[in-house]
Amino acid sequence: MTTKKASNASLPSERRARLVRLAGELFAEKGFRATTVREIADAAGILSGSLYHHFDSKESIGDEILSGFLDEVLTGYREAAAGTDDPRTTIEQFVRSSAATLARHRAALTMLQNDWSHFRAMPRFDYLRTATREIEHLWVDQLERGKQSGLFRPDLDARLTYRLLRDVLWIPTRWGQSSSNGWDTDQIADAVLRLIFDGIVARDSRPAGTSPADRQGRARPARS
Amino acid sequence: MTTKKASNASLPSERRARLVRLAGELFAEKGFRATTVREIADAAGILSGSLYHHFDSKESIGDEILSGFLDEVLTGYREAAAGTDDPRTTIEQFVRSSAATLARHRAALTMLQNDWSHFRAMPRFDYLRTATREIEHLWVDQLERGKQSGLFRPDLDARLTYRLLRDVLWIPTRWGQSSSNGWDTDQIADAVLRLIFDGIVARDSRPAGTSPADRQGRARPARS
Amino acid sequence: MTTKKASNASLPSERRARLVRLAGELFAEKGFRATTVREIADAAGILSGSLYHHFDSKESIGDEILSGFLDEVLTGYREAAAGTDDPRTTIEQFVRSSAATLARHRAALTMLQNDWSHFRAMPRFDYLRTATREIEHLWVDQLERGKQSGLFRPDLDARLTYRLLRDVLWIPTRWGQSSSNGWDTDQIADAVLRLIFDGIVARDSRPAGTSPADRQGRARPARS
Amino acid sequence: MTTKKASNASLPSERRARLVRLAGELFAEKGFRATTVREIADAAGILSGSLYHHFDSKESIGDEILSGFLDEVLTGYREAAAGTDDPRTTIEQFVRSSAATLARHRAALTMLQNDWSHFRAMPRFDYLRTATREIEHLWVDQLERGKQSGLFRPDLDARLTYRLLRDVLWIPTRWGQSSSNGWDTDQIADAVLRLIFDGIVARDSRPAGTSPADRQGRARPARS
DNA sequence: AATGAATGAGCGTTCATTCAT
DNA sequence: AATGAATGAACGCTCATTCAT
């Protein structure tokens, strides 16, 4: 992954960083393919040809965004996995780490979902598969250990569950489109955690405070 | 939804139906915008211009796919809501109905997720918003009733939960990309139901057999 | 010109005549190139491919219309020229004959004006030049004779005047587009004759009744 | 006319102006619809796509040509109408002004005649109707005043006459197709004026010098 | 006589990219 | 760093025409 980018990457000249950010916002909204370089240039107030002083192609902007995202996700996950032996704690850390990273990398997520078939066909983006495979392994490992320790239901299909959880995590990030939807990052992480740990069914015997999502009700009591 | 079919849609001459199916497969894989009419024609073994004997535009193929999907989803939901007073049963029906419909309409799902910004801008597709609003209302209604009856956790944010559940349901459908991923429609519905009702945490006090997801372990005991 | 048309012309089977008429109406409105065979077929209530049972090409419909028109015009002019020695009478006959013919052949006129560059390039339509040359010769001949006899102004440029008169004659035909414009064939012929013979300036010394256009004022006294 | 220029029209960078001129020549020859953007590009020695660096559509080239023409015509007519109270002088100015303008805007004329049905259907070109209505009003007004003052024949149908005159004026412009037809702008204006004022009939009682067309027969030495 | 399906060339347009200035 | 002009391939679509049924 750690793709060390082209010659002109050496000077992360603020201008360049701004362009990546601008492009990212557009990619997040409409996807990579559906965003034209002209739209990016328009957003930056320059002509489309001028973009090529900063990047050698539209693809390399995508590359930068995707590799930056995956680097950060993996770093967060590795730390979470190394920090404790308790699967539940680790998974909770996965979720919180993801929620934070995703909020800053909405573009990468949209690209992964919308344009996967596009990137997958290109050798340049082989690292996408490498990285997603490592991520899957980290999750599945925790789920299996949770099953063995009796924490998780023994009938859980670890890979199926991982896929479900990963995508569940991604969901709220996509909602950012309609910016003012009323939920912030923490609320969403809580709701997701509560959902995946305990489901939506009420349960009187649930030990109070064990679930981090208990905060949900307090944080925004007026909602419901 | 008021499915607005193109004039020549009245006679679904098998050839035409085949073209819609073929187009749908491509849309499901790469999205609507990213699929070219030449690709669709190639898949059918004809020239791109020949498509226009059957459809008046690429858009109208998309229209047909999307409206067909939403019609079916809504029909299923309305029946589920009318069939019983028990929110849990209704929601379970929502899930099973969705799983079945989605399996037959993967293209619509991809289009809704990948190309939403494209369709939203077009008056022709106004029904997308109408329909999704009704769907949301049906779900939120059941969730609220479940909360009031004590079935669901009182701290549940019904709209947030609906959004989460809807997208959770959509998740496995998207996996179809790598066709042989080993889970069938029932297994997925079960896993999803179990997840959203009970979460992933083991619980000894859980009454055996109440959850339909109990079948998961039996159906594919060799997996893990 | 008298182009004897293709094999299937042998049976002027009313169906065929109807198609030519229908096509003519469309050509008259929008020109030849701008009218599609599909539009013609639609007007006839059949599919576009079915037209080719009656004509071997769109061009041959145009051919039929144009040659029919020119045949009729030339016949009328030859008769007018042969009927009298008086240039003024002959020219008046040219005008009256043209007005009648043009009213029945609006399509040909539009095609000659709109699509001339299209037909001129095709050997098949060489007769257009032959015919227009003969027509020009007939007019110029009368104008020259009128000059010599002192009837017309001696400073008249016969060819320039012919061109002007020919096109003046064509003008009202083109107005047919907005069908109900309130002037009928006779009125128009009268107005044109009055214009070209006497101009628009009032003249007290003008012998009453010499101009055929005297009828104009009587026919529609309420207009002015 | 409220000329609605495209965004990039603000800088008429010589290249752009050259393209409009080139396109105009083609439109004048074959009409707007019948001219392809590839032909325009070929004439300019560039690729068809490159045109879109300068214009956002073929239509907007047409818009520019048409609105430019109508602006100029109206300006000339308004000046002519404001300059004198004598209808004959005004109409003579109309004719001379038109002849000059038309010579520089042959494309517009061809488009108005060949592609009227095309433009009329488009809201963007609503100004065509507004402008032609004003032009008609300006002419009819002069004709009516000429009738009342006894200058023009009392039986003249002003609207019918206007239509005739307008189209008569347009006629010679269309001949430009075969560029070397031997008459220049002034000759044509004179011939037209002489025709519309006095007709083609010789008349001894005609007051010498009243008609500007008197110059036609002579060598035209005094052309100022 | 007509249909229904298709062809193949060409249309107006878009887009990532290049490059002299 | 950026512009302005251009490229070349591809796009969605149209159209006259063909042909088996």
Interchain proximity C156–D200, CB inside 8 Å: yes
- Does C47 fall in a domain? no
Report which of residues A108 and C100 the model is more confident about.
A108
What is the per-residue pLDDT for A10? 46
Alpha-carbon distance B12 to nearest alpha carbon in chain A (angstroms): 31
Question: Does the CB of B180 have a partner CB in chain A at under 8 Å?
Answer: no
Pull the structure tokens for residue B69: 């999907």
Question: Does the CB of C113 have a partner CB in chain D at under 8 Å?
Answer: yes
Q: Which DSSP category does D115 fall into?
A: S
- In chain B, positions 34-63 with C-beta closer than 7 Å to nucleic chain E are 46-50, 53-54
| Residues in a beta bridge with A201 | B152
Mean pLDDT calculated for residue range D149-172: 86
Alpha-carbon distance C23 to nearest alpha carbon in chain D (angstroms): 16
Show Cβ contacts of residue C127 under 8 Å, excluding neighbours closer than 6 positions.
C1, C3, C67, C70
Per-residue pLDDT tens digits for D86-102: 999 999 999 999 988 99
Instruction: List CB contacts (< 8 A) between B150 and chain A.
Output: 202
Instruction: List CB contacts (< 8 A) between B198 and chain A.
Output: 198-199, 201
Interchain proximity C157–D33, CB inside 8 Å: no
Tally of domains within chain B: 1
- In chain D, positions 38-97 with C-beta closer than 7 Å to nucleic chain E are 38-39, 48-49, 51-52, 56-59
Task: Decide: D163 and C171 in contact? Cβ < 8 Å.
Answer: yes
Report which of residues B148 and D172 the model is more confident about.
B148
Closest partner residue to A224 (CB to CB) among B115, B157, B220 is B157
Confidence band, pLDDT 50/70/90 cuts, at residue D2? very low
Nearest to A40 by CA among A101, A57, D7: A57
Per-residue pLDDT tens digits for B124-135: 999 999 999 999
Produce one character per residue of D117-150: b if its CB has 16 or more CB atoms within 10 Å, e if not. ebbeeeeebebbeebbebbeebbeebbbbbbeee
Using the CB atom, is residue D122 less than 7 Å from strand E?
Answer: no
Question: Does the CB of C215 have a partner CB in chain D at under 8 Å?
Answer: no
Produce one character per residue of C137-167: b if its CB has 16 or more CB atoms within 10 Å, e if not. ebbeebbbbbbeeebbbeebbbbbbbbbbbb
Task: Decide: A105 and A169 in contact? Cβ < 8 Å.
Answer: no
Mean pLDDT calculated for residue range A90-117: 92
Per-residue pLDDT tens digits for C102-126: 989 999 999 999 999 999 999 999 9
**Predicted confidence (pLDDT) at residue B136 exceeds the cutoff of 60:** yes
Locate tokens 């709701």: which residue?
A: A191
Provide the 10 A C-beta neighbour count for residue D161.
22
Using the CB atom, is residue C43 less than 7 Å from strand F?
Answer: no
Closest partner residue to D202 (CB to CB) among C29, C152, C177 is C152
Beta strands (DSSP E) in A8-131 are none
- In chain A, positions 53-112 with C-beta closer than 7 Å to nucleic chain E are 56-59
CA-derived radius of gyration, chain B: 20
Nearest to D8 by CA among D17, D107, D23: D17
Find, in chain D, the residue whose alpha carbon is nearest to that of C224.
D157
Question: Distance from residue B33 (CA) to nucleotide E14 (C1'), in Å?
Answer: 13
- In chain D, positions 149-188 with C-beta closer than 7 Å to nucleic chain E are none
Task: Decide: C63 and C73 in contact? Cβ < 8 Å.
Answer: no
For chains C and D, what is the number of CB pairs under 8 angstroms?
151
Confidence band, pLDDT 50/70/90 cuts, at residue A142? very high
CA-derived radius of gyration, chain D: 20
What is the per-residue pLDDT for D195? 80
**Predicted confidence (pLDDT) at residue B208 exceeds the cutoff of 50:** no
Nearest to B213 by CA among A163, A161, A155: A155
Interchain proximity A164–B192, CB inside 8 Å: yes
Mean pLDDT calculated for residue range D175-202: 72
Confidence band, pLDDT 50/70/90 cuts, at residue B44? very high
Of the residues C160, C193, C196, C197, the best mutation for testing chain D's interface (the one with the most D CB atoms within 10 Å of its CB) is C160
Residues B131, B134, B136: CA angle, nearest 5 degrees: 110
Instruction: List CB contacts (< 8 A) between A183 and chain B.
Output: 160
Question: Does the CB of C46 have a partner CB in chain D at under 8 Å?
Answer: no
Task: Decide: A97 and A76 in contact? Cβ < 8 Å.
Answer: yes
**Predicted confidence (pLDDT) at residue C133 exceeds the cutoff of 80:** yes
CA distance C131 to C69: 10
Alpha-carbon distance A82 to nearest alpha carbon in chain B (angstroms): 22
Per-residue pLDDT tens digits for C41-100: 999 999 999 999 999 999 999 999 999 999 999 999 999 999 999 999 999 999 989 988
Q: Is the dihedral of CA C194, C195, C197, C202 positive or negative?
A: positive
CA distance A8 to C121: 57
- In chain C, positions 33-72 with C-beta closer than 7 Å to nucleic chain E are 46-50, 53-54
Confidence band, pLDDT 50/70/90 cuts, at residue B217? very low
Pull the structure tokens for residue B86: 């028990």
What is the per-residue pLDDT for B181? 62
Report which of residues B186 and C8 the model is more confident about.
B186
Closest partner residue to B205 (CB to CB) among A115, A205, A216 is A205
CA distance A107 to A165: 20
CA distance B30 to A116: 8
**Predicted confidence (pLDDT) at residue B154 exceeds the cutoff of 70:** yes
Question: Does the CB of B203 have a partner CB in chain A at under 8 Å?
Answer: yes
**Predicted confidence (pLDDT) at residue B9 exceeds the cutoff of 60:** no
Confidence band, pLDDT 50/70/90 cuts, at residue C210? very low
Q: Which DSSP category does B45 fall into?
A: T
What is the per-residue pLDDT for D153? 84
Pull the structure tokens for residue A140: 């599945």
Task: Decide: D102 and D65 in contact? Cβ < 8 Å.
Answer: no
Interchain proximity C201–D198, CB inside 8 Å: yes
Q: Tell me the backbone φ, ψ of residue D152, rounded to 5 degrees.
A: -100, 160
Using the CB atom, is residue C35 less than 7 Å from strand F?
Answer: yes
Question: Does the CB of C4 have a partner CB in chain D at under 8 Å?
Answer: no
Q: Where are the alpha helices (DSSP H) in C45-178?
A: 58-83, 87-104, 106-114, 116-120, 126-148, 158-174
**Predicted confidence (pLDDT) at residue D217 exceeds the cutoff of 60:** no
A222 alpha-carbon distance from chain centroid: 29
What is the per-residue pLDDT for A2? 43
**Predicted confidence (pLDDT) at residue D205 exceeds the cutoff of 90:** no
Interchain proximity C175–D154, CB inside 8 Å: no
Report which of residues D224 and D40 the model is more confident about.
D40
Residues C211, C189, C20: CA angle, nearest 5 degrees: 160
| Residues in a beta bridge with B120 | none
What is the per-residue pLDDT for A176? 65
Question: Distance from residue D53 (CA) to nucleotide F5 (C1'), in Å?
Answer: 8
Mean pLDDT calculated for residue range A168-174: 82
Alpha-carbon distance A215 to nearest alpha carbon in chain B (angstroms): 10
Produce one character per residue of D92-116: b if its CB has 16 or more CB atoms within 10 Å, e if not. bbbbbbbbebbbebbbbbbbbbbbb
Percent of chain A with pLDDT over 70: 81
Amino acid identity at B87:
P
**Predicted confidence (pLDDT) at residue A4 exceeds the cutoff of 50:** no
Closest partner residue to B171 (CB to CB) among A115, A151, A167 is A167
Report which of residues B216 and C173 the model is more confident about.
C173
CA distance B23 to B28: 9
3-state secondary structure of B179: coil
- Does D63 fall in a domain? yes
Rounded mean pLDDT of chain D? 83
Closest partner residue to A164 (CB to CB) among B155, B191, B224 is B191
Question: Distance from residue B35 (CA) to nucleotide F6 (C1'), in Å?
Answer: 28
Parent domain of C175: 59-181
Label each residue of C12-79 as H, E or C.
Answer: CCHHHHHHHHHHHHHHHHHCCCCCCHHHHHHHHCCCHHHHHHCCCCHHHHHHHHHHHHHHHHHHHHHH
What is the per-residue pLDDT for A206? 44
**Predicted confidence (pLDDT) at residue C205 exceeds the cutoff of 90:** no
Confidence band, pLDDT 50/70/90 cuts, at residue A224? very low
Nearest to A148 by CA among A104, A198, A95, A86: A86
**Predicted confidence (pLDDT) at residue B5 exceeds the cutoff of 60:** no
Instruction: List CB contacts (< 8 A) between A151 and chain B.
Output: 201-202
Using CB atoms, which chains have 3+ pairs under 8 A with D?
C
Measured CA distances, D43 to B132, C121, D35, D39 (Å): 52, 19, 11, 6
Rounded mean pLDDT of chain A? 83
Task: Decide: B132 and B90 in contact? Cβ < 8 Å.
Answer: no
Mean pLDDT calculated for residue range B12-30: 93
Task: Decide: D63 and D112 in contact? Cβ < 8 Å.
Answer: no
Mean pLDDT calculated for residue range B156-183: 76
Rounded mean pLDDT of chain B? 83
Locate tokens 């990546």: which residue?
A: A20
A19 alpha-carbon distance from chain centroid: 21
CA distance C54 to D26: 34
- Does A190 fall in a domain? yes
Mean pLDDT calculated for residue range B88-111: 93
Question: Distance from residue C21 (CA) to nucleotide E11 (C1'), in Å?
Answer: 29
Using the CB atom, is residue A50 less than 7 Å from strand F?
Answer: yes
**Predicted confidence (pLDDT) at residue A217 exceeds the cutoff of 90:** no
**Predicted confidence (pLDDT) at residue D67 exceeds the cutoff of 70:** yes
Mean pLDDT calculated for residue range B48-53: 97
Show Cβ contacts of residue C105 under 8 Å, excluding neighbours closer than 6 positions.
C24, C65, C68, C69, C72
Using CB atoms, which chains have 3+ pairs under 8 A with B?
A
Closest partner residue to A191 (CB to CB) among B160, B171, B174 is B160
Residue B176, Cβ density class (10 Å: 0-12 exposed, 13-18 middle, ≥19 buried): middle
Residues D19, D25, D27: CA angle, nearest 5 degrees: 100
Residue C119 belongs to a domain with what CATH number? Answer: 1.10.357.10
Mean pLDDT calculated for residue range C30-51: 97
3-state secondary structure of C201: strand
Measured CA distances, B144 to A97, A193, B157 (Å): 31, 21, 9
CA distance B165 to B187: 17
Mean pLDDT calculated for residue range B158-163: 86
Nucleotides of F under 7 A from a protein CB: 1-19
Measured CA distances, A91 to A146, B127, B200 (Å): 10, 40, 12
Mean pLDDT calculated for residue range C200-208: 55
Mean pLDDT calculated for residue range A80-95: 92
- Does B218 fall in a domain? no
The CA-to-CA distance between both ends of chain A, in Å, stands at 43
Question: Does the CB of D47 have a partner CB in chain C at under 8 Å?
Answer: no
Mean pLDDT calculated for residue range D110-128: 96
Question: Does the CB of C127 have a partner CB in chain D at under 8 Å?
Answer: no
Measured CA distances, C141 to A133, C135, C136, C162, D216 (Å): 93, 10, 8, 10, 20
Task: Decide: A118 and B30 in contact? Cβ < 8 Å.
Answer: yes
Minimum mean pLDDT among B18-32, B183-197, D56-70: which range?
B183-197
3-state secondary structure of B154: coil
Nucleotides of E under 7 A from a protein CB: 1-19
Confidence band, pLDDT 50/70/90 cuts, at residue B8? very low
What is the per-residue pLDDT for B78? 96
Helices and strands (H and E) in chain B: how many: 10, 0
- In chain D, positions 42-101 with C-beta closer than 7 Å to nucleic chain F are 45-50, 53-54
| Residues in a beta bridge with D152 | C201
